[in-house]
C-alpha cells in the first residue's frame, strides 16, 4: 500500500526561532496539508513510518496554569488590571528610601491581600479543572493489537492510528472514524449531550466496505490508510478519504464519532483514532470563559480617570506649596535643621515630596473595591443559582449564572433580542394542517378525529383507536362493524358522514354526502403529541388512489433523516427519533394517515402503505402467512397494507444556508425521484415555472393557504417532487461523488462543492403541497413580555421563520399590540429600501397611535445595513413610537450583525436570548447572553452568560435579580468612594498644618485595616442581601426597573454628589477633632487616633443609614465591627502594638479618658444621620421616586391598588390636570381625584412621568 506523501500534500511550515526547543517543534504528522493516518501504526516496527506518524498524545489539560508557572502567570494576569498596576507603582515609590514617610507595608499589605485573594480563587478553580482532567485521562478503553486481540489502555495513552473497541453506554475517548459495529449494517447510535446537549439518538454509519472486515484484518498494521484535514473546531465538519485495496472512499461527518459522545443502542463498535487530546473537536471548542465588562464598570472607570486628574492637581498644588515653604519658611523653624534654603534645594525637596504625596493620596482609589466587587458578584450569582422561582420541573434544573461579572448588567438592559422558535415558543412541534395541490386538509377541531387530548383518551394502549367508543359516538355504523373482522379498509367500506366543506377548507370539492373512511382502523406509530391532524378525507384520497395525495404523503415519509426505534411501552410499535422535531412531526403525520415509516437499513427505507401495491403484495401475503402461523413477536394488523421498500440513493441534508433538504429515492417501480422540502421563499424560487407542471390556479390557492397558515402562527414549508431519468441521475451522481471525495481547495470547500452540485437538481420540481406545523407558545410568555415592556425594555424578535408567522406569533403573545400601527420593510434594492424607509418614517411622524411595530425581512435588512441606508434604518427602528421590531428570515450571521450594530451605534445595553445553535452568534455579540435549555440542545446555554430553562424566567432574572443587583452594586461603589474620600480629606487638611511636608496623618497599619476590617463586612452583606423592594413588589411594579435602565443610581451626577458629600463630612470631622478639641490633646498622634476613630464611626453610621432591609446578622455585624475596632485599637496602642508602632503607645488611653471625645464622636454621627434623614425626607415629600411610593404602599393595600391604577391608567399619559381618576373599585367619590392624588397632589408630575 502506498503511504508516501504526494506533492500536493506537502505544506511548507514556517521556521521559528523556537523550533530548536522540543516543546515548540510541530508534530511530524502535522507538517503536511493533509493528515495521513495508518491503521495501527503505533504497533509498527518500521522506523520511517514511526518517525512521520507522530501526533499529539491524548492527554487532556484544561487548566490555565501548571505548578511551576502559577505564581508568575497569575501575577502577570492580575497586573493587566489598571488599579492593580497603579498600586504596584505606589508600592515601588514607597519602597524608595527618603521618598515617602509611609512605611512600605502600608501600601504593600492591601495590594498583597488583593493579589492573594484573587490568586487563591483562581487556584481553587484551576485545581477543580485539574481533578476533572485527571479523572478523564485515567479512564480505560480496549485497543486492538495486531492479531485481533485487545489490550486495555488509559485514555491518555491512546495514539493516532490506534483501533479502539468502544462498548455500549461508554464515551468515546478521542475523535474516531467508525469502521464496523455489532449491527450487521454497520450502524450505531450515539448521544451527543456532552457536546451540544441534544439527548435524542443520532445515527452514525460505517462504510459498507469496512463493515464485514474481521478484527484480525482491521488490526493488521497498514490494512487501511486515512487522509483527512488538519484538526479544526467545526463540530460537524469533516473531509477525508479512506484508502484500502487500491481503492478510496469518501469520509464525511456521518462516519465520525466525536470525543465526549456516548455509544447507545449498539453493543460495541470498532473505530480508528484520528484526532487526540487537545486537537479533538470538543477541546478545540472548549473556549475559556469570556470576559465581559459591565456598563457600571465602564462608568466607574471614567470617574476613576477624573479622580486621577483631580489627584494630580492636588498633588501638584501640595508639591508647589512644599517647595515654597522649604525656601521661604523652613529655615525659620530650628527643629527642621535645614541649612540650605536655596531654590535648588527646595526644588529637590519638592520633587521628592511629589511622589510621597501621590502615595499619601492613593487612598482616594479604593483598591479593596476590586475584591469586594468580585465577592459581591459571586454572592449574587449564587443567589441566582439557588432561586427556586427559576426552577423548571420538566428538566429539574435551576438557573445557572455562568458569568460572575455581569450581575448588575441584568438591571440595565435596554434592548432584548429574542429568537422565536424554542424561545418564545416551546419547540414542541405538532402537525396541524396541510395543503395538497391546492386543497386544504386538517381544518378546524371538528374536522379532526381522535388525535387531540379529548379524543386520545379513547385510544387503546397499542396506539389504535377503540372501536367501541367510536361506535358509541356515532362514528361507525353497523354495516361498518360487520367488516371489522377482516381488518380491511376499502372505498366500499366507507360510511357516510355529513361535514361542511366550507368550514373545513373553503374550497374542498366534496359534497356533504361524501363517504369517508373510519380512522379508528389505522395503526399509529410515533408519539401522538407530534400530530394534531387526522383527516379522514385525506385517507379517503389515499385509498382512492389520488396521485397528488399519495405523492405528498410519501414525500413526508421518505424525505427525512429520522430513525425508527422499537417502542418498549407498545409492543409491535415504533417511535421516531431524529435531530429535528419538525421531521418527526412530518413522519408522524404520514403515520396517522396510514403511511407508516417502520425501518431504515442503511440505504433502504421500509414503509407500510394503507393501499395494496403490486410490489408490496407478495410481502403482504407473506406477513399474513406469518400471522397465521403465530410467528414470535408478530401482531395482526388492523389495516390492509403493503410493506414496500424504497432505495435511498442520496441525501442532501438541511442547512441554514440552503434552507432546504432533498433525498433522491428509487421507487419500487424503478423510477428515480427527487423529494425536496424547505422554506417557502427558497422553494418558490427554485420550483418549475412551467404552467403545465405548477398551474397558476395551484399557485393562487397555495399562496392563499400559506398566508392563512402564517396568520395562524404556523410554521410552513413547501414540499416538491422531481422525476429524473436514469441517465441524468448517473451523470449527476458521478459529479456529486467526485465532489464528496474532494478536499477543500482555494476555490471552495467540499461542502460548498456538494451544495452547488446538489442545487442543479433541486430545481424545476413540481410543488406537491404545504406543511403547517404548530410551535406552541411557552407558558407565561405573554405576561413576561408585558412586564418587560412595562419595564421600558425594547424587544426585537430575530427569527428565521416566515414574516406572517412571526407577526402572528407576536400578536398572540402580546408582543405586538392589536392597536399597534404595523409598518413593513420588504424591498430588496438600495433605492427601494431608501424609498420605503422614508415612507415609513413619514407614516410614523403622522401617526396618532400609541405604539408601532416594524416588520423587516432578512433580505431587506441586509440591504438596509449598508452604509447608504444604515443611518435612516436605525432612525426608523428607534422612532419613539416604535415599540417592537420583528425581523424574519434572518440568518445567524445577520442576527449577530444586528445586535452588534445596535450595541455600537446606539450605545445601549443589550441582551440576546435564544435556545439553538443558530443563536450562539447573537448571544456572544450581546452585552448579556441568555441561553435557554431547549429541545435544540445546550449549545446556546453553554455559550451564554446565564442559562435558564424557560423564557418566563427572564422576569425573575431581570426585574428581580437585575434590579436588586444594580441597586446594591451602585451603592457599593458610591459607599467605597465615600469612605475613602472622607479618609483622604483628613490627609489633605493635614498637609496644611504640617508645613506642607509629606508626613502621614494616620499610622500605616491603621490605614490598611480601615478598608479591610472596619468598613468591609457591613457593605458586603448589604450588597448581597439588601432588598429595597421585595420580590412581589418588583414584579407588581416593573417600572422600578427604569432606575437601572436609565442609570439613575450610578452616573456622573450621583458619583460626584457622593464625592462632595464625603468631602463635606470629612471636613466636618477634621474641624471638630483637630480644632474644636485642639486643647484636649497634647500630641498629633492622639489627634490622629481620635480622628481615625471618628471616621470609622461615621462610616458605619452612614452604612446603617443606607441599609433598607434589616436582618439580625447585618445589624449584628455593624455592632460587632465597632466593638471589635475598639478592642483592636486598645491592644494596638498597648504592648502588643509597641513593636510595630511605638509612637502610638498609650495614645488610646488618652483619647478614651476625655469625655469631650465621646461628645464630639456622638455629635458627628448624629450630624450625618440628621443630614441623610433630612435629604430623604425632603425628597419623599417634594420629589419622591417610584421606589419611595412603593415602600410607602407596602402595608396598605388601598394605596398599592391606587398606585398600580395610576401607573396603568391611560389618562395619566395625557396632558391632564388630574393625576388620578376614579378607581374602578369605586372607593373614591365621583369627581374625586383618588386617594393617592388627594393625599399627594405634589406627586402629580412625577407620576405622570412614571406612567408615561
Catalytic residues: 419
CA distance to 983, 1084, 1157, per residue, from 1076 (Å): 19, 14, 10
* Range 68-90 burial, b when 16+ CB lie within 10 A, else e: eebeeebeeebeeeebbebbbeb
- 3-state secondary structure at position 1227: coil
> Sign (positive/negative) of CA torsion 1136, 1138, 1140, 1144?
positive
Q: Dump the DSSP string for 425-475.
A: EEEEEEEEEEEETTEEE--SGGG--S-SHHHHTTB-TTSSB-HHHHHHTT-
Helices and strands per DSSP (H, E), number in the chain: 47, 35
SS3 content of the chain, % helix, strand, coil (to 5): 50, 15, 35
The three-state secondary structure class of 1119 is helix
Say if CB 1151 and CB 1090 are below 8 A apart: yes
Going by their DSSP bridges, the two strands 150-154 and 163-167 should be labelled as unpaired
Q: Give the whole-angstrom CA distance, residue 251 versus residue 206.
A: 9
Name the nearest CA neighbour of 764 among 723, 733, 732. 723
Cell of 731: 451523470
Q: What is the DSSP string of 256-294?
A: EE-TT-EEES-SEEEEEEEE-GGGSHHHHT-PPPPP---
C-alpha cell at 1092: 481615625
3-state secondary structure at position 773: strand
Q: What angle do CA 595, 598, 602 make, to 5 degrees?
A: 120
Q: Which of 249, 231, 230, 253 is nearest to 241 (CA)?
A: 249
- Residue 1071's Cβ-count burial label (10 Å; 0-12, 13-18, 19+) is exposed
CA proximity to 1187, closest of 1044, 1061, 1050 = 1044
Number of neighbouring beta carbons within 10 Å of residue 236 = 16
**Which DSSP string do the residues of 459-470 spell out, in sequence order?**
B-TTSSB-HHHH
Give dist(CA 274, CA 455) in Å, integer: 53
**What distance in Å separates the CA atoms of residue 714 and residue 707, rounded to the nearest whole number?**
10
| Of the candidates 1075, 1084, 1098, the residue with the CA atom closest to the CA atom of residue 980 | 1098
Residue recorded with cell 421531521: 583
Residues in the chain: 1252
- Report how far residue 494's alpha carbon sits from residue 488's, in angstroms, rounded to the nearest whole number: 11
Cα→Cα distances 1116→953, 975, 980, 1018, 1125, Å: 34, 20, 23, 9, 14
Residues 6+ apart with CB under 8 A from 774: 429, 430, 431, 432, 532, 713, 714, 715
Strands 910-914 and 415-418: parallel
The residues with which 387 forms a beta bridge, in sequence order, are none
- The answer to whether 692 and 782 are in contact (CB under 8 A) is no
Separation of alpha carbons 718 and 884, rounded Å: 29
Amino acid at each position: 500500500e502506498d503511504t508516501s506523501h504526494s506533492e500536493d500534500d506537502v505544506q511548507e511550515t514556517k521556521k521559528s526561532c523556537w523550533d530548536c526547543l522540543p516543546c515548540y517543534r510541530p508534530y511530524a504528522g502535522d507538517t503536511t496539508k493533509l493528515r495521513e493516518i495508518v491503521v495501527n501504526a503505533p504497533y509498527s516496527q518500521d522506523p520511517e513510518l514511526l518517525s512521520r506518524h507522530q501526533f499529539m498524545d491524548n492527554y487532556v489539560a484544561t487548566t490555565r496554569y501548571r505548578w511551576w508557572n502559577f505564581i508568575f502567570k497569575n501575577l502577570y494576569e492580575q497586573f493587566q488590571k489598571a488599579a492593580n498596576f497603579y498600586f504596584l507603582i505606589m508600592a515601588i515609590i514607597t519602597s524608595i528610601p527618603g521618598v515617602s514617610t509611609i512605611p512600605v507595608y502600608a501600601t504593600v499589605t492591601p495590594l498583597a491581600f488583593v493579589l492573594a485573594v484573587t490568586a487563591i480563587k483562581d487556584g481553587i478553580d484551576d485545581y477543580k479543572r485539574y481533578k476533572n482532567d485527571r479523572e478523564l485521562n485515567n479512564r480505560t478503553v480496549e485497543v486492538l493489537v495486531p492479531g485481533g486481540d485487545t489490550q486495555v489502555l488509559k485514555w491518555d495513552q491512546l495514539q493516532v492510528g490506534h483501533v479502539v473497541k468502544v462498548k455500549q453506554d461508554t464515551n468515546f475517548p478521542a475523535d474516531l472514524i467508525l469502521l464496523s459495529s455489532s449491527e450487521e449494517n454497520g450502524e450505531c447510535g450515539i448521544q451527543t449531550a456532552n457536546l451540544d446537549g441534544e439527548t435524542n439518538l443520532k445515527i452514525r454509519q460505517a462504510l459498507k466496505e469496512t463493515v464485514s472486515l474481521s478484527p484480525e484484518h482491521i488490526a493488521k498494521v497498514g490494512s487501511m490508510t486515512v487522509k483527512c484535514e488538519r484538526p479544526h473546531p467545526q463540530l460537524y465538519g469533516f473531509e477525508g478519504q479512506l484508502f484500502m485495496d487500491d481503492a478510496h472512499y469518501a469520509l464525511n461527518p456521518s462516519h465520525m464519532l466525536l470525543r465526549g459522545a456516548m455509544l447507545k443502542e449498539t453493543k460495541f463498535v470498532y473505530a480508528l483514532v484520528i484526532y487526540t487530546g487537545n486537537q479533538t473537536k470538543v477541546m478545540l471548542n472548549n473556549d475559556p470563559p469570556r470576559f465581559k465588562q459591565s456598563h457600571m464598570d465602564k462608568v466607574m472607570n471614567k470617574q476613576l480617570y477624573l479622580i486621577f486628574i483631580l489627584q494630580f492637581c492636588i498633588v501638584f498644588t501640595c508639591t508647589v506649596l512644599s517647595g515654597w515653604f522649604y525656601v521661604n519658611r523652613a529655615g525659620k523653624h530650628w527643629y527642621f535643621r535645614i541649612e540650605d534654603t536655596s531654590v535648588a534645594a527646595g526644588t529637590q525637596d519638592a520633587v521628592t515630596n511629589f511622589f510621597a504625596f501621590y502615595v499619601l493620596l492613593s487612598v482616594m482609589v479604593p483598591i479593596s473595591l476590586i475584591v469586594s466587587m468580585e465577592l459581591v458578584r459571586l454572592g449574587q450569582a449564587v443567589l441566582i443559582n439557588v432561586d427556586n422561582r427559576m426552577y423548571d420541573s420538566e428538566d429539574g434544573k435551576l438557573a445557572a449564572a455562568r458569568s460572575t461579572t455581569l450581575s448588575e448588567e441584568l438591571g440595565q438592559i435596554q434592548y432584548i433580542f429574542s429568537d422565536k422558535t424554542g424561545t418564545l415558543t416551546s419547540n414542541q412541534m405538532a402537525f396541524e394542517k396541510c395543503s395538497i395541490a391546492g386543497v386544504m386538509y386538517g381544518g378546524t377541531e371538528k374536522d379532526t378525529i381522535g388525535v387531540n387530548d379529548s379524543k386520545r383518551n379513547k385510544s387503546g394502549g397499542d396506539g389504535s383507536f377503540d372501536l367501541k367508543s367510536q361506535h358509541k359516538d356515532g362514528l361507525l355504523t353497523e354495516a361498518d362493524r360487520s367488516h371489522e373482522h377482516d381488518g380491511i379498509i376499502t372505498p366500499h367500506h366507507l360510511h357516510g358522514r355529513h361535514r361542511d366543506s366550507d368550514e373545513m377548507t373553503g374550497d374542498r370539492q366534496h359534497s356533504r354526502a361524501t363517504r369517508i373512511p373510519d380512522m379508528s382502523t389505522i395503526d399509529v406509530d410515533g408519539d401522538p403529541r407530534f400530530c394534531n391532524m387526522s383527516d379522514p378525507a385525506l385517507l379517503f384520497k389515499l385509498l382512492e388512489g389520488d396521485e397528488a395525495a399519495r405523492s405528498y404523503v410519501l414525500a413526508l415519509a421518505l424525505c427525512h433523516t429520522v430513525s425508527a426505534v422499537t417502542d418498549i411501552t407498545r409492543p409491535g410499535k415504533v417511535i421516531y427519533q431524529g435531530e429535528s422535531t419538525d421531521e418527526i412531526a412530518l413522519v408522524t403525520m404520514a403515520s396517522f394517515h396510514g403511511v407508516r415509516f417502520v425501518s431504515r437499513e442503511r440505504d433502504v427505507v421500509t414503509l407500510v402503505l394503507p393501499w395494496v401495491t403490486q410490489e408490496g403484495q407478495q410481502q403482504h401475503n407473506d406477513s399474513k402467512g406469518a400471522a397465521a402461523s403465530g410467528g414470535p413477536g408478530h401482531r395482526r394488523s388492523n389495516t390492509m397494507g403493503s410493506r414496500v421498500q424504497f432505495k435511498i440513493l442520496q441525501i442532501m441534508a438541511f442547512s441554514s444556508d440552503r434552507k432546504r433538504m432533498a433525498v433522491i429515492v428509487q421507487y419500487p417501480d424503478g423510477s428515480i425521484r427527487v423529494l425536496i422540502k424547505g422554506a417557502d421563499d427558497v422553494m418558490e424560487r427554485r420550483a418549475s415555472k412551467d404552467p403545465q407542471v405548477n398551474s397558476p390556479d395551484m399557485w393562487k390557492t397555495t399562496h392563499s393557504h400559506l398566508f392563512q397558515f402564517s396568520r395562524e402562527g404556523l410554521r410552513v414549508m413547501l414540499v416538491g417532487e422531481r422525476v429524473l431519468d436514469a441517465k441524468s441521475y448517473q451523470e449527476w451522481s458521478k459529479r456529486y461523488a467526485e465532489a464528496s471525495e474532494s478536499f477543500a481547495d482555494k476555490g471552495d470547500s467540499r461542502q460548498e462543492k456538494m451544495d452547488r452540485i446538489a442545487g442543479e437538481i433541486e430545481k424545476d420540481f413540481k410543488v406537491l403541497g404545504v406543511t403547517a406545523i404548530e410551535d406552541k407558545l411557552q407558558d407565561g410568555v405573554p405576561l413576561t413580555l408585558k412586564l418587560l415592556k412595562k419595564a421600558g425594555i425594547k424587544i426585537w424578535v430575530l427569527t428565521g421563520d416566515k414574516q406572517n408567522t412571526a407577526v402572528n406569533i407576536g400578536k398572540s403573545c402580546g408582543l405586538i399590540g392589536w392597536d399597534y400601527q404595523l409598518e413593513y420593510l420588504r424591498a430588496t434594492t438600495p433605492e427601494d429600501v431608501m424609498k420605503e424607509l422614508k415612507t415609513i418614517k413619514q407614516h410614523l411622524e403622522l401617526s396618532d397611535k400609541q405604539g408601532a411595530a416594524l416588520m423587516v425581512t432578512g433580505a431587506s435588512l441586509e440591504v438596509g445595513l449598508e452604509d447608504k441606508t444604515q443611518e435612516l434604518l436605525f432612525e426608523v427602528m428607534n422612532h419613539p413610537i416604535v415599540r417592537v421590531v420583528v425581523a424574519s428570515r434572518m440568518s445567524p450571521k445577520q442576527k449577530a450583525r444586528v445586535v452588534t450594530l445596535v450595541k455600537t451605534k446606539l450605545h445601549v445595553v443589550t441582551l440576546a436570548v435564544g435556545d439553538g445553535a443558530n443563536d450562539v452568534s447573537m448571544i456572544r455579540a450581546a452585552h448579556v447572553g441568555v441561553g435557554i435549555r431547549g429541545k435544540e440542545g445546550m449549545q446556546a446555554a453553554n455559550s451564554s452568560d446565564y442559562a435558564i430553562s424557560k423564557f418566563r424566567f427572564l422576569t425573575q432574572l431581570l426585574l428581580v435579580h437585575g434590579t436588586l443587583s444594580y441597586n446594591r452594586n451602585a451603592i457599593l461603589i458610591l459607599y467605597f468612594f465615600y469612605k475613602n474620600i472622607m479618609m483622604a480629606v483628613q490627609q489633605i487638611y493635614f498637609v496644611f498644618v504640617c508645613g506642607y511636608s509629606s508626613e502621614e496623618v494616620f499610622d500605616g497599619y491603621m490605614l490598611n485595616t480601615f478598608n479591610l476590617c472596619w468598613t468591609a463586612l457591613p457593605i458586603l452583606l448589604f450588597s448581597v442581601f439588601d432588598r429595597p423592594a421585595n420580590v412581589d413588589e418588583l414584579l407588581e411594579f416593573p417600572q422600578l426597573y427604569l432606575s437601572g435602565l436609565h442609570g439613575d443610581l450610578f452616573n456622573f451626577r450621583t458619583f460626584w454628589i457622593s464625592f462632595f458629600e464625603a468631602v463635606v463630612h470629612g471636613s466636618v470631622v477634621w474641624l471638630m477633632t483637630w480644632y474644636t478639641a485642639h486643647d484636649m490633646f497634647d500630641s498629633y498622634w492622639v489627634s490622629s487616633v481620635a480622628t481615625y476613630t471618628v471616621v470609622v464611626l461615621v462610616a458605619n453610621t452612614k452604612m446603617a443609614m443606607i441599609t433598607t432591609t434589616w436582618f439580625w446578622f447585618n445589624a449584628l455585624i455593624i455592632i460587632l465591627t465597632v466593638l471589635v475596632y475598639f478592642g483592636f485599637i486598645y491592644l494596638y496602642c498597648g504592648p502588643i502594638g509597641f513593636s510595630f508602632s511605638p509612637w502610638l503607645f498609650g495614645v488610646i488611653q488618652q483619647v478614651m479618658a476625655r469625655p469631650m471625645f465621646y461628645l464630639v464622636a456622638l455629635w458627628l454621627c448624629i450630624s450625618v444621620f440628621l443630614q441623610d434623614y433630612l435629604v430623604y425626607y425632603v425628597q419623599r415629600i417634594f420629589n419622591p421616586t417610584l421606589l419611595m411610593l412603593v415602600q410607602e404602599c407596602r402595608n396598605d393595600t388601598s394605596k398599592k391598588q391606587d398606585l398600580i391604577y395610576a401607573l396603568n391608567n391611560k389618562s395619566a399619559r395625557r396632558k391632564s390636570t388630574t393625576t388620578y381618576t376614579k378607581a374602578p373599585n369605586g372607593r373614591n367619590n365621583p369627581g374625586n381625584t383618588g386617594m393617592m392624588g388627594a393625599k399627594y397632589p405634589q406627586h402629580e408630575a412625577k407620576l405622570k412621568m412614571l406612567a408615561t
